[in-house]
C-alpha cells in the first residue's frame, strides 16, 4: 500500500517498521511531526522530554538496555545533546540507536543555519541522509542495521525541505526485533579516562571500516550518463541536480559520514569534471580535496540558504527567468490576535523596559511596532544573559531590564539559569510567560501542562513552586491580560533591586479548547484617528483610507487589548454568549 | 506528461495546508507522481506562506521556481503579486480578491499597493472572487479556501466527481457537506 507522507511521517513509519521500541524528543521545527506521528504506533513507547540532552540520554539508556531507540530534534537541539552524543560515540550501542536531526537551510524557523554533519564528524558517529520521503523511511530502517553492525549511534540528517515535503511512500509491515540481553560491561559503558582511551581507538577503527564498507552500501547511488560533468551530492540537493541537469552523471551519497572515499575516487575517474553540490558547508568538498581529488564546490555555489534547480542552471550559464525587483511590503510573522504575549509586551513597551529575550512565539516581541525584545540567543539564555549584563554593569544599569521566557523554554534550560542567578546573588525581574503550551512549534505538551505526548493525565510541574524551591523569595502570578496590575507589579519589583519572578498566565489563543466569545468592534463616529490602538500590533486592526480604524471580525479574538488603548471610547467589546 | 506546477500562496493561518492536501490526494487518484512542499512553524504566524504542488510522470524537486507555475492560487491580493513572477507566461491566477494588511502597512511604514488586480491582468489571465464574503454567506468564514479551490478546479484537469470524493475523504466528517457546497459554489463561479 502507498500513502502520501511528509518526510517526517515517513521517518516515524520507518521507526515503526524497524521495530523501534523507545523514542524521546523535544519539539523543534522542522522535526516536531516525527514524534507527533510516532504516537500513533502503540508498539513504540514515545515521549516529550524537557530538552534534547534528556531525550538523547533516554535513547542511550534504551539502547544500552537492548532495544532499538530513537531521539529526534532540530539542528540546534543537537548542540544541547552534544554532550551525551560525543561520548555515546565511544560507548556504541546494544540495541540500535538513531538520532534524527533536522537542519534548516534558509532559516525558515531557526536562529542559525548550522550543518549537522559537523557534529557527526566531531562525535565520530555515522551520518546518513535521505533525499525524499521514500528514502526517509528506507534509510531510517537501514540506519538501525548500520548502528547494530558497527556498534555505533547513527544520525539521520534531514532538512526543512525534506521534512515538510510529501510524496507517496510504500508501506511495509513492522518487523519485531528481539530484545538483546542487558550485559553489565564496565569497560564499554563507563566512560572514565582509562576506558575511554581504549574506546577511542576502537571508534577510529570502526569508522575506518565503515568508510571502506560504505562504498558498497545500497544507500549510495552512482548514475553514469554524460561523463563531461559528474556531480557528487546528497540529500535534497540530489533532486535539484536531476531537475536541472538530467543528463549529467551523479554520485548520490546516502552515507555522508564517514565518506565512502573509494567510491568517490571511482566516480571521479569516470567523469571529466567533478562538481560537489551540497547545501550549507563544504563538508564533502573539503574531504574530497584533502584526499587529493580535483573538484569544484563552493567556488561555484553559496554556503547560504537553500539550493534549487534554477540556481544550478544559472551556475552553468543557462538562462532562467528572473524575479523582478519589486518594492512590495514584506509580510513578517506576527503575534496572533488574542495572544497573551502582546498584552505583556505592550506593558513593557509603555514602561520603556528592555527585555533580555528567549526563543518562542514571544521572540516576535522584537518585531515592530512592539520592538521590546533586546536580545535572543538560544533557549534558556534570557535569564543568564540578563545576569551577565547585571554583573557587568551593576543593578543601576538593569533597573529597567527584565528577562522574558516561555513556559516550555523555562523547563528546557531556563531553570538552570535561574538557579545560577539565585546562587550568585543576582538581582532583577524574570518574567515567565506561561501560555500552557509549547506554542511556536505548534502546541506540544510539556512537563508543566499535566498531559503526556499521548494526551494522558500526568503530574504538572508547579512553576511558581519550582522557582521558590530554587530559592527565589519573590514569586508572583498574574493574568497576562491584567495590564494595570502588571504595570504596578513591574514598577514595584524593578524598584526593589532584588530577584523576582513574575509568572504571567493566560493560555495561547490558538490552544485547543480556548474559546473567545467576545469581539471588539470599532465605532467609526467616535474614532479620532490617533492610531494609538495600532501601536499594539494586532493583525485584526487596519487603518482605513480616511484614517479611522477597522477591526476584522473574522480575525478578532476579543481579548479587548485594543479597547484599553483607546482614549475616545471608539472601540466596544461586544459580549458573546 | 510534462510536469504540472501549482502554487498556493497566502497568509499564515489561512489554511493553505488543507488545500494542498486535497490536491495531493486528488492527484494520486490519477496515478501521477506527485510532490507537495509546505511551510510549517514560524512562518505560519501571520507571515507569507507558500505551498508547492507538482505532478507528472516523474517529479524530482518538490519546489516550484521562477517561471514554472501553471496555476497560482492566491488567498490574498498582495501575496498574488508577490509571487506572480513564478508563473509561466501562459499561467493563470486564481485569486481570492481580499486585502489583509501586513504589519508594516498597519503601522504606516509602507503602503499597500494599489490596483493589484489590474496589474496582475496585464501579464496573466486572472479569475477572481471575494471568497471570504461568499463563505460568510454560506455560514462559515473558514470555508473560503474551498471556494477558491472550486474556482481553480475549472482550470485543472480533474473531474468534479473526483474532487468531491477527495474532499469527502480529506476534511473532518462534520464539515463535509459545507465544504462540498463551498467547492461547488466556487466551481460554478468559474463558468
Ligand atoms: C535547542 C532548541 N530546541 C528547540 C527549539 C525550537 N523551539 C523554538 S521555540 C520553542 C518553544 C517555545 O515554547 P515556549 O517557551 O512555551 O513559548 P511559546 O512559543 O509558547 O510562546 C521551541 C521548542 C529551539 N529553537 N532550540
pLDDT tens per residue, range B108-131: 889 999 999 999 999 999 999 999
Q: What is the mean pLDDT of chain B?
A: 93
> Which residues are within 8 A (CB) of B55 and not within 5 positions of it... i.e. 6 or more apart?
B3, B4, B27, B32, B33, B34, B35
Please judge whether B65 and A554 are an interchain contact, meaning their C-beta atoms are less than 8 angstroms apart. no
The pLDDT value recorded for residue B191 is: 66
Residue of B9, B40, B132 for testing the chain A interface, max A β-carbons within 10 Å: B40
Among the partner-chain residues A109, A531, A542, the one whose CB lies closest to the CB of B42 is: A109
B140 touches chain A (CB under 8 A): no
Return the ∠ at Cα B166 (arms to B163 and B168), rounded to 5°: 110
pLDDT category at B13 given cuts 50, 70, 90 is: confident
The pLDDT value recorded for residue B107 is: 86
- For residues B17 and A423, the model is more confident at A423
Domain for residue B50, yes or no? yes
Please judge whether B35 and A165 are an interchain contact, meaning their C-beta atoms are less than 8 angstroms apart. yes
What ipTM, to 2 d.p.? 0.95
The β-bridge relationship of strands A45-48 and A22-25 is parallel
pLDDT category at B42 given cuts 50, 70, 90 is: low
Question: Which H or E element spans position B37?
Answer: strand B33-37
pLDDT in tens, A296-321: 999 999 999 999 999 999 999 999 98
pLDDT category at A508 given cuts 50, 70, 90 is: very high
Among the partner-chain residues B85, B104, B132, the one whose CB lies closest to the CB of A330 is: B104
| Mean pLDDT calculated for residue range B78-105 | 95
Question: Which H or E element spans position B102?
Answer: none
Please judge whether B60 and A326 are an interchain contact, meaning their C-beta atoms are less than 8 angstroms apart. no
Nearest 5°: phi and psi at A394? 90, 160
Domain for residue B181, yes or no? no
Please judge whether A442 and B41 are an interchain contact, meaning their C-beta atoms are less than 8 angstroms apart. yes
Q: Does residue B40 surpass a pLDDT of 80?
A: no
Whose Cα sits closest to atom 4 in ligand 1?
A: A28
Percent helix, strand, coil in chain B, to 5, is 45, 25, 30
**At which residue does the C-alpha cell 515538510 appear?**
A164
Please judge whether B105 and A322 are an interchain contact, meaning their C-beta atoms are less than 8 angstroms apart. no
What is the residue extent of each domain of chain A? 2-216, 221-315, 340-505, 519-574
Domain for residue B92, yes or no? yes
Question: Which H or E element spans position A497?
Answer: none
Residue A141 Cα, ligand 1 centroid: separation in angstroms? 29
d(Cα A254, Cα B36) in Å, to the nearest integer? 22
A322 contacts in chain B (CB < 8 Å)? 66, 85
To which CATH superfamily is domain A340-505 assigned? Answer: Thiamin diphosphate (ThDP)-binding fold, Pyr/PP domains (3.40.50.970)
A108 contacts in chain B (CB < 8 Å)? 39, 41-43
pLDDT in tens, B46-66: 899 999 999 999 999 999 999
Residue A409 Cα, ligand 1 centroid: separation in angstroms? 6
List the one residue out of A230, A313, A215, A243 whose CA is nearest residue A270.
A230
To test ligand 1's pocket by mutation, which of A335, A360, A444 has the most ligand atoms within 8 angstroms of CB?
A: A360
For position B65, which CATH number holds?
3.40.920.10
First CA to last CA across chain B, in angstroms?
Answer: 26
Domain for residue B164, yes or no? no
Please judge whether B60 and A243 are an interchain contact, meaning their C-beta atoms are less than 8 angstroms apart. yes
Q: Determine if ligand 1 sits within 6 Å of the CB of residue A441.
A: yes
Please judge whether B109 and A361 are an interchain contact, meaning their C-beta atoms are less than 8 angstroms apart. no
Please judge whether A539 and B63 are an interchain contact, meaning their C-beta atoms are less than 8 angstroms apart. no
Question: Which H or E element spans position B180?
Answer: helix B176-189
d(Cα A548, Cα A533) in Å, to the nearest integer? 11
Q: Determine if ligand 1 sits within 6 Å of the CB of residue A409.
A: yes
For residue A88, what is its C-alpha cell? 555515546
The pLDDT value recorded for residue A474 is: 98
pLDDT in tens, A466-492: 999 999 999 999 999 999 999 999 999
B89 touches chain A (CB under 8 A): no
d(Cα A141, Cα A449) in Å, to the nearest integer? 33
B139 touches chain A (CB under 8 A): no
Report the domain count for chain B: 1
Q: Does residue A325 surpass a pLDDT of 80?
A: no
pLDDT in tens, A154-212: 999 999 999 999 999 999 999 999 999 999 999 999 999 999 999 999 999 999 999 99
The pLDDT value recorded for residue B17 is: 85
Residue B73 to chain A, least CA–CA distance (Å)? 18
Domain for residue B172, yes or no? no
Quickly name the fold that domain A221-315 has.
Answer: Rossmann fold (3.40.50)
Please judge whether B67 and A537 are an interchain contact, meaning their C-beta atoms are less than 8 angstroms apart. no
Q: Does residue A71 surpass a pLDDT of 70?
A: yes
The pLDDT value recorded for residue B39 is: 81
pLDDT category at B190 given cuts 50, 70, 90 is: confident
List the one residue out of B141, B35, B82 whose CA is nearest residue A326.
B82
List the one residue out of A82, A73, A129, A56 whose CA is nearest residue A283.
A129
Q: Determine if ligand 1 sits within 6 Å of the CB of residue A436.
A: no
d(Cα A487, Cα B104) in Å, to the nearest integer? 27
List the one residue out of A385, A447, A384, A375 whose CA is nearest residue A418.
A384
Please judge whether B103 and A441 are an interchain contact, meaning their C-beta atoms are less than 8 angstroms apart. no
Residue A408 Cα, ligand 1 centroid: separation in angstroms? 7
The pLDDT value recorded for residue B43 is: 63
The DSSP secondary-structure symbol of A129 reads -
Q: Check whether the bond before A142 is cis (ω within 30° of 0).
A: no
Among 3.40.50.970, 3.30.200.20, 3.60.21.10, 3.80.30.20, name the CATH number for the domain at A2-216. 3.40.50.970
B111 contacts in chain A (CB < 8 Å)? 329
| Mean pLDDT calculated for residue range A514-542 | 93
Whose Cα sits closest to atom 7 in ligand 1?
A: A28
Domain for residue B191, yes or no? no
Burial B124-142 (b: 16+ CB within 10 A, else e): bebbbbebbebbbebeebb
Q: Determine if ligand 1 sits within 6 Å of the CB of residue A504.
A: no
Q: Determine if ligand 1 sits within 6 Å of the CB of residue A431.
A: no
> Which residues are within 8 A (CB) of A408 and not within 5 positions of it... i.e. 6 or more apart?
A360, A437, A438, A439, A444, A446
Atom of ligand 1 nearest to the CA of A408: 16
A535 contacts in chain B (CB < 8 Å)? 107
Q: Determine if ligand 1 sits within 6 Å of the CB of residue A362.
A: yes
Domain carrying residue B95:
4-141
Whose Cα sits closest to atom 13 in ligand 1?
A: A438
| Mean pLDDT calculated for residue range A109-130 | 97
Among the partner-chain residues B62, B107, B113, the one whose CB lies closest to the CB of A328 is: B113
Whose Cα sits closest to atom 15 in ligand 1?
A: A406
Q: Does residue A577 surpass a pLDDT of 80?
A: no
Residue B91 to chain A, least CA–CA distance (Å)? 14
Atom of ligand 1 nearest to the CA of A435: 20
Q: What is the mean pLDDT of chain A?
A: 97
Residue in chain A closest to B79 (alpha carbons) equals: A331
To test ligand 1's pocket by mutation, which of A28, A35, A56 has the most ligand atoms within 8 angstroms of CB?
A: A28
CB atoms within 10 A of CB A196: 14
For residue B1, what is its C-alpha cell? 506528461
Quickly name the fold that domain A519-574 has.
Answer: Alpha-Beta Plaits (3.30.70)
The pLDDT value recorded for residue A232 is: 98
> Which residues are within 8 A (CB) of B157 and not within 5 positions of it... i.e. 6 or more apart?
none
Q: Does residue A133 surpass a pLDDT of 90?
A: yes
Burial of B9 (0-12, 13-18, 19+ CB in 10 A): buried
Domain for residue B112, yes or no? yes
Collapsed DSSP state (helix, strand, coil) of residue B38: coil
d(Cα A361, Cα A559) in Å, to the nearest integer? 18
pLDDT category at A555 given cuts 50, 70, 90 is: confident
Q: B73: left (phi > 0), else alpha (psi -120 to 50), else beta?
A: beta
> Are residues A335 and A471 in contact, defined by beta-carbon separation less than 8 angstroms?
no
Question: Which H or E element spans position A155?
Answer: strand A154-159
Q: Would A221-315 and A340-505 be classified into the same CATH topology?
A: yes
Q: Determine if ligand 1 sits within 6 Å of the CB of residue A129.
A: no
Amino acid at each position: 500500500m502507498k500513502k502520501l507522507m511528509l518526510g517526517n511521517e515517513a521517518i516515524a513509519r520507518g521507526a515503526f517498521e524497524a521495530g523501534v521500541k523507545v523514542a524521546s524528543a523535544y519539539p523543534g521545527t522542522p522535526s516536531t511531526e516525527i514524534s507527533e506521528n510516532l504516537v500513533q504506533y502503540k508498539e513504540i513507547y514515545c515521549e516529550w522530554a524537557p530538552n534534547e540532552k534528556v531525550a538523547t540520554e533516554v535513547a542511550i539508556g534504551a539502547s544500552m538496555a537492548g532495544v532499538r531507540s530513537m531521539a529526534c530534534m532540530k539542528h540546534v537541539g543537537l548542540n544541547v545533546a552534544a554532550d551525551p552524543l560525543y561520548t555515546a560515540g565511544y560507548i556504541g550501542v546494544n540495541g540500535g540507536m538513531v538520532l534524527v536531526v533536522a537542519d534548516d537551510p534558509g532559516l525558515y524557523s531557526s536562529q542559525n543555519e548550522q550543518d549537522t554533519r559537523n557534529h557527526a564528524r566531531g562525535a565520530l558517529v555515522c551520518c546518513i541522509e535521505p533525499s525524499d520521503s521514500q528514502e526517509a523511511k528506507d534509510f531510517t530502517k537501514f540506519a538501525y542495521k548500520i548502528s547494530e553492525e558497527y556498534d555505533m549511534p547513527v544520525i539521520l540528517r534531514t532538512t526543512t525541505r525534506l521534512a515538510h515535503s510529501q510524496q507517496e511512500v510504500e508501506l511495509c509491515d513492522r518487523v519485531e526485533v528481539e530484545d538483546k540481553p542487558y550485559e553489565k560491561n564496565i569497560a564499554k559503558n563507563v566512560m572514565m579516562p582509562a576506558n575511554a582511551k581504549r574506546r577511542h581507538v576502537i571508534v577510529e577503527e570502526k569508522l575506518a571500516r565503515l568508510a571502506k564498507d560504505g562504498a558498497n552500501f545500497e544507500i549510495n547511488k552512482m548514475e553514469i550518463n554524460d561523463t563531461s560533468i559528474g556531480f557528487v551530492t546528497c540529500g535534497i540537493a540530489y533532486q535539484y541536480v536531476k531537475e536541472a541537469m538530467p543528463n549529467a552523471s551523479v554520485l548520490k551519497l546516502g552515507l555522508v559520514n564517514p565518506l565512502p572515499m573509494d567510491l568517490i575516487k571511482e566516480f571521479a575517474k569516470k567523469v571529466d569534471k567533478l562538481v560537489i553540490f551540497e547545501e550549507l558547508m563544504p563538508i564533502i568538498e573539503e574531504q574530497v580535496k584533502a584526499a587529493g581529488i580535483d573538484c569544484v564546490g563552493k567556488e561555484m555555489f553559496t554556503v547560504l540558504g537553500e539550493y534549487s534547480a534554477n540556481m544550478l542552471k544559472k551556475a552553468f550559464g543557462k538562462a532562467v527567468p528572473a524575479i523582478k525587483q519589486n518594492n512590495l511590503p514584506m509580510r513578517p510573522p506576527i503575534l496572533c490576535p488574542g495572544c497573551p504575549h502582546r498584552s505583556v509586551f505592550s506593558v513593557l513597551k509603555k514602561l520603556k523596559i528592555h527585555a533580555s529575550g528567549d526563543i518562542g512565539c514571544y521572540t516576535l516581541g522584537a518585531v515592530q511596532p512592539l520592538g521590546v525584545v533586546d536580545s535572543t540567543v538560544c533557549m534558556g539564555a534570557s535569564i543568564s544573559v540578563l545576569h551577565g549584563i547585571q554583573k557587568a554593569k551593576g543593578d543601576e544599569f538593569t533597573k529597567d531590564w527584565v528577562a522574558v521566557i516561555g513556559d516550555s523554554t523555562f523547563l528546557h534550560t531556563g531553570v538552570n539559569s535561574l538557579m545560577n542567578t539565585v546562587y550568585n546573588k543576582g538581582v532583577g525581574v524574570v518574567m515567565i510567560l506561561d501560555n500552557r503550551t509549547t506554542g511556536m512549534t505548534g502546541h506540544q505538551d510539556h512537563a508543566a501542562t499535566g498531559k503526556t505526548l499521548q494526551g494522558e493525565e500526568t503530574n504538572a510541574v508547579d512553576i511558581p513552586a519550582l522557582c521558590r524551591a530554587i530559592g527565589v523569595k519573590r514569586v508572583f502570578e498574574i493574568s497576562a491580560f491584567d495590564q494595570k496590575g502588571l504595570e504596578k507589579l513591574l514598577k514595584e519589583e524593578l524598584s526593589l533591586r532584588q530577584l523576582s519572578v513574575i509568572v504571567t498566565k493566560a493560555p495561547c489563543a490558538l490552544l485547543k479548547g480556548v474559546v473567545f466569545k467576545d469581539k471588539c468592534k470599532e465605532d467609526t463616529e467616535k474614532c479620532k484617528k490617533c492610531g494609538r490602538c495600532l501601536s499594539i500590533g494586532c493583525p485584526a486592526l487596519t487603518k482605513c483610507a480616511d484614517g479611522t480604524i477597522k477591526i476584522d471580525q473574522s480575525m478578532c479574538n476579543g481579548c479587548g487589548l485594543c479597547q484599553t488603548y483607546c482614549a475616545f471610547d471608539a472601540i466596544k467589546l461586544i459580549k458573546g454568549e | 506528461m510534462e510536469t504540472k506546477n501549482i502554487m498556493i500562496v497566502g497568509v499564515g493561518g489561512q489554511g493553505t495546508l488543507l488545500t494542498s492536501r486535497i490536491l495531493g490526494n486528488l492527484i494520486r487518484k490519477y496515478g501521477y507522481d506527485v510532490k507537495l512542499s509546505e511551510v510549517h512553524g514560524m512562518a505560519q504566524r501571520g507571515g507569507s506562506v507558500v505551498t508547492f504542488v507538482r505532478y507528472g510522470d516523474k517529479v524530482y524537486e518538490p519546489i516550484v521556481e521562477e517561471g514554472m507555475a501553471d496555476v497560482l492560487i492566491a488567498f490574498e491580493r498582495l501575496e498574488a503579486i508577490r509571487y506572480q513572477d513564478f508563473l509561466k507566461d501562459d499561467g493563470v491566477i486564481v485569486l481570492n480578491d481580499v486585502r489583509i494588511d501586513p504589519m508594516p502597512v498597519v503601522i504606516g511604514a509602507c503602503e499597500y499597493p494599489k490596483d493589484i488586480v489590474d496589474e496582475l491582468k496585464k501579464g496573466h489571465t486572472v479569475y477572481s472572487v471575494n471568497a471570504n464574503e461568499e463563505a460568510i454567506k454560506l455560514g462559515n468564514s473558514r470555508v473560503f479556501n474551498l471556494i477558491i479551490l472550486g474556482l481553480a478546479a475549472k482550470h485543472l484537469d480533474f473531474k468534479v466527481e473526483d474532487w468531491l470524493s477527495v474532499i469527502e475523504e480529506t476534511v473532518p466528517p462534520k464539515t463535509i457537506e459545507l465544504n462540498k457546497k463551498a467547492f461547488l459554489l466556487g466551481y460554478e463561479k468559474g463558468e
